[in-house]
Structure formats: C-alpha cells, structure tokens
Structure 1
Amino acid sequence: MTTHAIETIEQLEAYYPGIANISPATWGKETAKINDDYRRLIEACPFATVATEGPEGLDCSPRGDGPGFIRIIDQHTIALPDRRGNNRLDTLRNIVRTGRVALLLMIPGLNETVRINGRALVSVEPDLLESMAEQGKVPASAILVTIETMYFQCARAIIRSRLWQADAQVDPKTLPSAGQLVRSVMADFDSDSYDAVLPERQAKTLY
C-alpha cells in the first residue's frame, strides 16, 4: 500500500490551507490559570483520559469517579486520585520517569471537552490522600499536575460521534467480553469463568 505520507511541516501546512484563516480565539483561548469558568468545568467532570510517555512508549489510560474527583489545589494545580486498577502502573511509571502529562476531560451531555497539558508527579502526601478517600478507602497515590496550558476543544468530534445520544449506545452483548478479549491473545484462557465473576469483583474493588 502506498502511504502518501506527509513528511515535512511545509507539506502538512500546504494540505491544510485553512490554517491561514484560523480564528484568533483558536490560539488565544489557551491559559495556564484555572479561572472561574474552567473551575466549573473541572468540578463537573467525572471522567478523564491521562496520556503519558516513557522509555517503553506512550500510554493513555482512563480515570473516573464522581464529579469533583479532580481536585483543584490552586489556580495552576490539580490532583487526580489513583484508585484501584490493574496495577500495571503504566501511567505512574511514565510520570516518575518524564513528568509529562496530557489530560482530556469529558462531561456527559457537554459537547466541548477540556484539554490540559502540563508537568506531573506522583504524590503520597498523607493529608492529600486522606482528603480523597471514598467509601473509607484512601487512594494509593495522587497524580499532581501543574498546568502549563489548558483550553477547551470544540464540539465537532462529540457531535459527529453522537457520543451522548442514547440511541447511539451499543449493546455490549454484540461485542467481545473482557474475558474473550484476553482469550483472543491467550488461547487457553478460561474466559467464561473470568466473565462470570467479573461484575461482582469489580463492584467489590471500585475503591
């Protein structure tokens, strides 16, 4: 297959002539400070993806909890609890090594998303972790992010995907289960037993 790859910035910009007419707001909307309006969005957010990089490559993982789970520390700093997961620690390993992070915040029903790029560290400060306890469970650590730039992403992708539309939801039974996905790469894996106990295990280990 011929890739017809674009290999230079000059070629890229030639294929996107619209960049000459970018609205001043496209670049001007960036900020490193959490103002009152961005505070409202962050406090309403129940779900975010966290992208990092490290020696083994890139990682992008989900983080979610009730609205307000992203803690605003000050006008330039936020914290995300690291609650129970699969213990691969891909995100945390990368943060410890490079300290670079990018977040995408999503709010159900809102077509705009929030993008945050910054520096991060893994904090085990006791008072911070205690303040993030849920159902009596303290997170193992927290991702502390110093915001370098933050801005909202326009709504087109969410509108095109119809992400929040009820009639666009897919019946999970029409897709491979978690156990089946494991078995797709581990032929002798007992997917039926795995799937049978998964809902109960997840319910007991959310926190």
Structure 2
Amino acid sequence: MSTFQHVIQTEADLRAILGYAGEPATNKVIPEIDDICRAYIESSPFVLLGTSDATGRMDVSPKGDPPGFVQVMDSHTLLIPDRPGNRRGDTLTNLLQNPHIGLLFLVPGRKETLRVNGTAQIVRDEAVRDRFIMQGKAPIFVIAVTVQEAYFHCTKCMVRSHLWTDEHKNDALVSLGAAIVQHAQLDISLEEADAYLAEDEKTGLY
C-alpha cells in the first residue's frame, strides 16, 4: 500500500492531467543518427547509459572521455569504449540479460541534450578496440549500440538547473573518499582513501 493519497495508476488518469504532446515533440524522433546528431555526439565528452537486468532493475552509468569518444560507426551504430573502472560491470552484466539501452549525451555549455535508444552488444574485436587507444591502451570492451531512436530533449531542465554556471557550485559536500569509507565501512583513514582516489585518477584512467 502506498503512503501517498493520490497516485496515478493508469495512462488515462495521467493523460487527463498531462495532456498530449504536440506535433513537434511527437514527430521529432528519428530512427538513425543523421548529420545533426552525429555533430552533437562528436562534440560530446559525456554520456549517461541507462540499462536494466532481466527483472527490470535499473542502472544509469556515466561515461566520459575527450569529445567524440563515442564513435558513429554508421547511421545505425554507435561504439562506446568501456574504460577501466571498479569492475562492478553493472552496465555490462545488465546488457547480457537485457540488450536494451538508453543514452543521454551532454555537451558542456549547451542547453539541449541528445537521447538515443536501442540495443547493445559487448564487443571484443581487436580492430574495434584499437579504434579507441588512449595513452597506448585499448579498452578491454566496446559497447556497440544499434540505434532505434534518436531525438533532442528540450532545454528547460538545463535552464532551471543552471548546470553550466557556478550558481549552484557546492564545495561543502564531503569528498568521494569520505563517502566510500563510510558506505563501504572501510578500515582506512579518509586521507588514505582520498590519496588512493587521487592517484587512481592519475594512473588508472586508461
């Protein structure tokens, strides 16, 4: 039982309040990466990957590299390098159970975002991995996305958030090291955790 008194449970109830999208929003979805989408992706240094496992349990993972790190192989295929991380492999294990994937591309300073939906495979082809060599190292995996939908998202969320300004900059939050020590209940000092993360940023990017 919900703790809330007024919960929307059917699309009819939802649409009675929300209404329906207009023609521009409805018709803006295209089934491929055209020149406009390609230019945006080639300018993007940051993408969010949304996946879920076989039970529907969701995960969103950030990926970042120099602009254009997500390569447009053709109008229906994107290639995303999987760089070294913490080895949890949340995105990868989800894709083995459920190939559907949603991408959200951002470009610093731009108010619009680009959404791409499709399915994905985990690729180990040497020729594909070699396309992404950085500092002499190729990624151990590449996520190959077969594009089904692509469309630009409106600017209102960026305008409301002031994301690309210093207006909401917050230096009072605890460090990542402090958060990990507490959440993982590690028997190390905050200084040791922060030092490890700082070193990992220097030596473990690729």
Interval of TM-score (by shorter of Structure 1 and Structure 2): over 0.9
Residue segments in structure 2 that go unaligned for 5+ positions in a row: none
**8 Å contact 1:129–1:140 — kept in the other structure?**
yes
Shift of 1:36: 1.1
CA RMSD of the aligned region, Å?
Answer: 1.4
Task: Mark the CA change 1:54 to 1:191 in structure 2 (over 3 Å): closer, same or farther.
Answer: farther
Q: Scaled by the length of structure 2, what TM-score is found?
A: 0.93
CA distance, structure 1, for counterparts of residue 125 and residue 5 of structure 2: 49
TM superposition shift of 1:177 = 1.4
- Cα drift, residue 37 of structure 1: 1.1
2:106 is the alignment partner of 1:109 = no
Question: One-letter code of the match for 2:170?
Answer: V
3-state SS of 1:166 partner: coil
Unpaired runs of 5+ residues, structure 1, are none
CA contact (8 A) 1:70 1:79 kept: yes
Aligned equivalents of 2:22, 2:185: Cα separation in 1: 53
Match of 2:178 among 177, 180, 184: 180
- How has the CA–CA distance of structure 1 residues 26 and 184 changed in structure 2, closer, same or farther, with 3 Å as cutoff? same
Taking structure 1 as reference, are residues 191 and 106 closer, same or farther at Cα in structure 2, changes over 3 Å only? farther
Following TM superposition, by how much is the alpha carbon of 1:188 offset from its aligned partner in structure 2, in angstroms?
A: 5.1
Match of 1:68, SS state, is coil
Matched residue, 2:93? 93
Decide which moves more: 117-126 or 178-187.
Answer: 178-187
Which whole-Å CA distance do the structure 2 matches of 1:59 and 1:191 have between them?
A: 30
Answer whether contact 2:178 2:193 (CA < 8 A) is retained: no
- Structure 1 segments, 4+ long, off by >4 Å, are none
Bigger drift between 105-114 and 30-39 goes to 30-39
Partner of 2:36: 37
Q: For the residues of structure 2 that align with 1:3 and 1:150, how far apart are their CA atoms?
A: 37
Return the match for 1:14 from 16, 19, 41.
16
TM-score (norm 1): 0.93
